[in-house]
Structure 1
Amino acid sequence: MHGLTRNSRDFEELADHLARDRRVIVPEMRGRGLSDYAKDSATYTPLVYVADVQALLAELELGRVIAIGTSMGGLMTMFMAAMAPGQIAGAVLNDIGPQVETAGIERISGYVGQGRSFPTWMHAARALQEIQSDAFPNFTIDNWLEMAKRTMVLGQNGRISFDYDMAIAEPFKDTDNAAPPDLWPAFDALKGAPLLLLRGELSDLLTEETVAEMARRHGDMKSVTVAGVGHAPTLDEPESVAAIDELLARIA
């Protein structure tokens, strides 16, 4: 499950790898990619997304799943565990935990929903580089072009824009001055399910201290630090793929 402004294309390489011997489902949340935009922007919240995913799983007659969630998708994984005990057979949380750092939230809030568009893919790639170079200091221009094509789409007007409804920013920004919710009970609901936590070495959303507390509370969590990246690892790094394979091998 993808992050706030992302879509299923983030998982293309990983999904192809995992699909060799497992059934893989990569949903796009409402307002992203090929999913319809919501009529009411107030429904752009993680709990609504969880309800959407649970409706999809019910339609597919899948009672238990291994969840892989990046950022917002990881929060959704925790909420699923809390709302439907036993549904999560195992989980991968990608650079997210129950303690989300203010600096990272403020950074995301600064760019989400701006509605920018670009005349060429190179312009789009350069714009991403300007926004996220701190998180991916070792990216080449080819990497930025790949990210642009994962996160943006060519519109009928010939312009390239982010592949999500700009209105997803409204509920997100509405929480700017609110006290952060206590997410530890949702995280604790993952106890009993094997857990892998991936953390970007340069992450501004997830600290090493939070990782340590997560490991202490869970009891069956492996953490892997992905070197040289921030929020969030792209899940095609060799250490990420190897760790995910190791987790899946433990789960029948």
Structure 2
Amino acid sequence: MAFTRQTVQCISPAGLHHMSYKEWGDPQSAKVLICVHGVTRVADDFDMLSQALESDYRIICPDVVGRGQSGRLPNPQLYQIPQYVSDMVTLLARVNAETVDWFGTSMGGLIGMVLASMKNSPLRKLVLNDVGPSLNFDGLKRIGDSIAQDVRFDTFEEAERFIREVSISFGPHSEAEWHKIARDVLKQDADGKWVRHYDLSLAIPVQATTAEVAAIGEKMLWAAYDAITCQTLLVRGAESDLLSKATAAQMQERGPHAEVVEIAGVGHAPTFVQPDQIAIIREFLLR
């Protein structure tokens, strides 16, 4: 089945903004899967996963505000988890399902973790893709510095090489897969230059995060994780510099006692475009 593009209006302290999302599968299906991407990625990341699961689920894949085809926020300090959670609650109201399953990569996993921790949460199953309550501070700093780079390229080929270099931790991919990974997050600006398809202001709150602030955030995230009761799968890239083996082990022992699967040869974060990775998610969700 082909996907459709839709939008939903959301609210922030700065006013209204729109969130774009892709919808796959039967729109009347009671089984709903929400897929939310990482900090600089977009809904298109889940095309292969959606095609593999669309006969089993109605699948909703948003561009989180500030990315892709969604709106931009006038106040960059709002580019943080509380605003994203608020937007997802609006999306859940649009979806109008009694329960949903959630697949979140990195930032998308943090959003899902907070939603799953709330009283009367509709989340039935939760997949956390290479993310947990404890995040390596050096890894966060690397991501913040990468987000802030205002890079512009004369040709798509140059831009594609750049995306491939900064995404090398995703692990081995075919040439066609790398091409799509790059194409999904690139656009041409008014001058014809190829740029990344997100608001560079996303970097401001990330770069402002100190070790002390990160420690406070970690404490709050562990409290949220410990409150989760739904079935949870944690996927870790074996070479991840963001989610440590020690944190993954803690997540097995605390809160929802997550099942843990580690993917060899991959860092932050597995892309789930390849059949062996998709099979992991399919088995968990459809078990």
TM-score by length of 2: 0.81
Counterpart of 2:224?
186
Give the partner amino acid of 1:7. V
Q: Which has the higher contact order (CA 8 A, sep 6+)?
A: 1
Determine if the alignment matches structure 1 residue 86 to structure 2 residue 121: yes
Counterpart of 1:138?
172
1:3-22 alignment runs, 5 A limit:
3-22=38-57
Counterparts in 2 of 1:13 and 1:108: CA distance versus 1, 3 Å: same
Between 231-240 and 202-211, the greater mean CA deviation after superposition: 231-240
- Aligned match for 2:253, one of 197, 216, 223: 216
Structure 2, unmatched stretches of 5+, are 1-35
CA distance in 2, matches of 1:236, 1:208: 24
Shift of 1:2: 0.9
Counterparts in 2 of 1:54 and 1:127: CA distance versus 1, 3 Å: same
CA distance in 2, matches of 1:156, 1:16: 33
Shift of 1:176: 3.3
1:102-121 alignment runs, 5 A limit:
102-121=137-156
Counterpart of 2:75?
40
Give the partner amino acid of 2:251. M
Q: What is the aligned length?
A: 248
Residue aligned with 2:146, SS = coil
Sequence identity (%) = 36
Counterparts in 2 of 1:149 and 1:220: CA distance versus 1, 3 Å: same
Counterpart of 1:62?
97
Residue aligned with 1:85, SS = coil
Asked if the contact 2:236–2:263 (Cα under 8 Å) also holds between the matched residues in 1, the reply is yes
Give the partner amino acid of 1:238. P
Determine if the alignment matches structure 1 residue 241 to structure 2 residue 275: no
Counterparts in 2 of 1:210 and 1:65: CA distance versus 1, 3 Å: same
Counterparts in 2 of 1:100 and 1:17: CA distance versus 1, 3 Å: same
CA distance in 1, matches of 2:88, 2:171: 34
Counterpart of 2:200?
166
Counterparts in 2 of 1:141 and 1:117: CA distance versus 1, 3 Å: farther
Asked if the contact 2:45–2:271 (Cα under 8 Å) also holds between the matched residues in 1, the reply is yes
Asked if the contact 1:121–1:148 (Cα under 8 Å) also holds between the matched residues in 2, the reply is no
CA distance in 1, matches of 2:54, 2:134: 32
Asked if the contact 2:41–2:185 (Cα under 8 Å) also holds between the matched residues in 1, the reply is yes
Counterparts in 2 of 1:152 and 1:178: CA distance versus 1, 3 Å: farther
Shift of 1:220: 4.7
Counterpart of 1:225?
262
Deviations 1:189-242, CA, capped at 9 Å, x for gaps: 222x11111111110001111111101114552211112111000012333211
Asked if the contact 1:99–1:210 (Cα under 8 Å) also holds between the matched residues in 2, the reply is yes
Shift of 1:132: 3.4
Q: Which segments of structure 1 move beyond 2 Å, counting only runs of 4 or more?
A: 82-86, 128-133, 136-146, 154-157, 176-179, 218-221, 237-240
